[in-house]
Amino acid sequence: MPIFDGLISGLSVTSKPPIFDERGYFYEKYNKKYLEQNKLKFVQENISMSIKGTIRGLHWQSTPKAQDKLVTCIYGKIIDIALDLRLSSPTFGHYSLVELNEGQNNSFFIPKGFAHGFQALTEKCIISYSVSEEYSFENSYTINPICPILNIEWPIANLVLSKKDSEGLNINEHNKSNFFN
């Protein structure tokens, strides 16, 4: 499955200019108006730290615990991937990738219907992601990030993977009822 040239329908990147002063900087990740316009209600904020080469993903939660995610790299630089798992979508099985880094202060909005993953490109990365549903073990799934069908060209060849991710199923091995209509 190829990379999609540009952003797949439903995905978006937001960027807020930071305000700098002698102390450092401040920027707004999102506000109430953004949440209302996108019909979002975040219920959990997750923070992860990863070392260079680490891949986390490709993860998603199925209905009824599917999650919208707003992902921001607050330290370092990552390549972030959203994989379309909407069975009726013309881009099913395609993915979009976005570079997120602390200097751009950009966020990647990934709605329900997509698997998510990223690779850390700098020695240390800190990622913040807001989610619209709490974690659900029963509804949580993983696609192996080195799935040969997806053929994702991760920028760093020295991969650091969790056991869960490295043992994840390929996309064609998953029960399609765990995908989205």
- Which has more confidence, 103 or 163? 163
The pTM score is: 0.93
Residue 30 is a catalytic residue: no
Residue 141 is a catalytic residue: no
User: For residue 4, is it within any domain?
Assistant: no
Q: What is the pLDDT of residues 20-56, one digit of tens each?
A: 899 988 888 888 998 898 899 999 999 999 999 999 9
Cα–Cα distance for residue pair 80/28, rounded to 1 Å: 20
Q: What is the pLDDT of residues 59-110, one digit of tens each?
A: 999 999 999 999 999 999 999 999 999 999 999 999 999 999 988 889 999 9
What is the domain-level CATH number for residue 164?
2.60.120.10
Catalytic residue, candidates 94, 95, 129, 174: 129
- CB within 8 A of 17, min separation 6: which ones? 27, 105
Number of domains comprising the chain: 1
Catalytic residue, candidates 59, 75, 135, 174: 59
